[in-house]
Amino acid sequence: MERGRYLNPFDTSNFKKEAALKTKRLHLCFASFLVFLTMIIVPFLACCEPGEVIGGRLTIPVIETPNLTLLKPAGQHLPFRRLMYDPLINVEDDGSYTPRLATSWEYDDTTYTWTITLREGVKWHDGVDFTAADVKFTYETAMDIPGSMYQNMWGQDVEECTIVDDHTIEFKLKENLRGWIANLKEERAEIVPKHIWEQQEDPATYLNLDNPIGTGPFKFKEGDFLTYALFEDNPDYWGGAPHIAEVLCKVYANIDAQILALKSGEIDCITGKAMTSLASVASFIADPNIHVALRDANRYDSLRINLYHSPNNVKEFRHALSWAIDRQEICDTVYYGYAQPAQQVPFVPPALRDAEAIAWPGGGINPATGEKYTDAERIAKANDILDDLGWLDTDDDGYREGPMGLPGATTTAKLSFVMQIGPTPSHARSAEIVQDNLADIGIEVIVTTSTFTTIFNKLKNVAHDWDWYLGGHGQPIDWYIGLAGYFNDPTDMSSAFMAGPIGFDYPLVQDKMTASLTASGATFDTLVEDIQELWADYLPLIPLHTTLVVAVYRDDNLTGWDLEVQTDPPLFVEPDFYRVLLKLRQA
């Protein structure tokens, strides 16, 4: 495999290498519902010219429950926050980091200290100056709130946070983590005003819904946050006043209501995360005012396996499962073609780099034919593996028998597993396909649906009382950091997506993951290649597919929708939405 193909967001030489690759796909448009909102809310690269008319209203749909607290549970990133608050850094098309409230950052690898220089002249919406004290307050207050996103992302690696002066702050880390700066980007570290929050008796329960104050490009104007919230442009925004006068967030009960609202012109767009009803996309094509765009996403679905149990802990068994699953059927029938089978491991979606396939069970090309494996070939390989393990159907009930229980179990029983899914229609349909596929090789699958909270708590419970979980997960731009952060510590039970809950304990690959966090250049490339090859063979998780993001939008109210991606290949699912916003104006 060619070296230098693996994007390290902190190594500019790798940006140049990646930018030289030729993309094999057409990448257009938006990423996801809340990623799109970044486009709406953060004008950064330019500002309105003096005397220029600012007008028009952008109306966007909201489904989720409002959350403006410091708790900010994972997965609940709402437009309200994005409109009003700024993080310290921003992510560009090529995966590099650029200034927001921070203007520069330096790392001392001898003291493990990040020194962050903050932007001067920034005002909170009430006119108070933004300073380093706000950053320190946000960090230290959030650290005292169990379960906060800030705690998970900022705090676990920080030994000390120190104010140097009004516009300089230092974070001393517990170990050498050059990639820690990624935790200061949007979705992870919006800064809140100390002078407001320090007056609250309990910041953990402060709802922040009466008159929220931020530094962002839009200010709260009115609304109850339960049915709607209206925001107006911030003329004093440090990045320049927005061209749009107002943004209205309207709450809808479901995607069907959003579709009707878009067709009637009540709202201006529906984007990726909300567009779960992919079958409805065709209905937009005939409307000349509505446009449909697609783009690769930084999200994958997988089958998570409890490696604490037998036969899940048998590598060859996992290989058989992977061979049997018809990923193309899932993409075609569940996602109406707006998804693509996983092309590589470990879980590097095509949106994050121009994928070069890694050989792994159930993926790749048949060397005998030079073509993809046929369904018959896949099923035959899966059956051969199980036959070689000696796990046969001895009672003619259609299901094989094998060792069930704790690792090393000698008790033979029907190969029957409970596969948990969340309340997501697409996952329910995917589970049915997997269930049918595995029945073809003599494995019984019982599908159960629970809330995500119930599932994740079960996965994190030290009793390890579960079999399989089919679900999705977003991959961060700094994908190798995300991978290492999730899987390099077999004892980490802090999240359902870490190594601990699934029982992934493989020192050879985990040591390489840890080393990749501080490596660069050719050393980094070699580590990533080794990690992928080892992961592909061990297969602790079974990759299913990556989804395409679908966005539909109207151009009769607002014009200037600039959806062109600025890099070739587009290295990240999030285009430069600052640029898009600045070209978005009243029609």
What element of type H or E holds 140? helix 132-143
Q: How far from 121 is each of 99, 103, 138, 169, 232, CA to CA, in Å?
A: 14, 12, 19, 16, 21
Cis peptide before 217 (omega within 30 of 0): no
Cα-to-chain-centroid distance, residue 402: 37
CATH of domain 33-270+555-586: 3.40.190.10
* 7 close to 525: Cβ distance less than 8 angstroms: no
Q: What's the pLDDT at 447?
A: 98
Q: What's the pLDDT at 152?
A: 58
Residue pLDDT tens, the chain, 587 long = 232 333 333 332 332 233 232 222 323 333 333 334 443 444 333 445 544 557 889 888 887 666 677 766 544 445 677 788 888 987 665 567 889 999 999 999 899 999 999 999 999 999 999 999 999 999 888 888 776 766 656 667 888 999 999 999 999 998 877 777 777 876 567 899 999 999 998 888 888 888 899 998 889 999 988 889 999 999 999 988 888 899 898 988 877 888 899 999 999 887 655 455 666 776 777 788 888 776 666 677 899 999 999 999 999 999 999 999 999 999 888 888 878 887 655 455 444 444 455 667 877 667 677 778 889 999 999 999 999 999 999 999 999 999 998 776 677 899 999 999 998 888 999 999 999 999 999 999 999 999 888 998 899 898 999 999 999 876 555 555 556 667 878 888 877 778 888 999 989 988 888 887 777 778 877 887 788 788 888 999 898 987 776 777 888 888 766 654 433 333 333 434 445 555 667 87
Length of the chain: 587
Dig out the tokens for 27 from the structure: 């990448």
* 94 close to 15: Cβ distance less than 8 angstroms: yes
What order of strands is seen across the sheet that includes strand 57-62?
57-62, 246-251, 228-233, 218-223
DSSP symbol at 248: E
Dig out the tokens for 384 from the structure: 């051969």
Please check whether the two domains, 33-270+555-586 and 297-547, share a CATH topology: no
Dig out the tokens for 386 from the structure: 């199980």
**CA-to-CA distance for 11 and 45, rounded, in angstroms?**
23
CA-nearest of 366, 386, 390, 367 to 377 is 366
Cα-to-chain-centroid distance, residue 103: 25
> Domain map of the chain by residue range?
33-270+555-586, 297-547
Domain 297-547 - what CATH class? alpha beta
* 457 close to 429: Cβ distance less than 8 angstroms: no
CA-nearest of 443, 357, 440 to 402 is 443
* 374 close to 381: Cβ distance less than 8 angstroms: no
**CA-to-CA distance for 152 and 303, rounded, in angstroms?**
24
Q: Radius of gyration over alpha carbons of the chain, in Å?
A: 24
Cis peptide before 346 (omega within 30 of 0): yes
pTM higher than 0.85: no
**CA-to-CA distance for 85 and 34, rounded, in angstroms?**
14
10 Å CB burial of residue 410 (0-12, 13-18, 19+) is exposed
* 430 close to 334: Cβ distance less than 8 angstroms: yes
Q: What's the pLDDT at 195?
A: 96
Q: What's the pLDDT at 278?
A: 66
Q: What's the pLDDT at 185?
A: 74
**CA-to-CA distance for 444 and 42, rounded, in angstroms?**
50
Q: What's the pLDDT at 573?
A: 37
DSSP symbol at 217: S
**Helix or strand or coil: residue 81?**
helix
What order of strands is seen across the sheet that includes strand 113-118?
102-108, 113-118, 168-173, 158-165
Q: What's the pLDDT at 30?
A: 31
Q: What's the pLDDT at 569?
A: 35
In a 13 Å sphere around the CA of 103, the CA atoms on its Cβ side amount to 12
Q: What's the pLDDT at 585?
A: 75
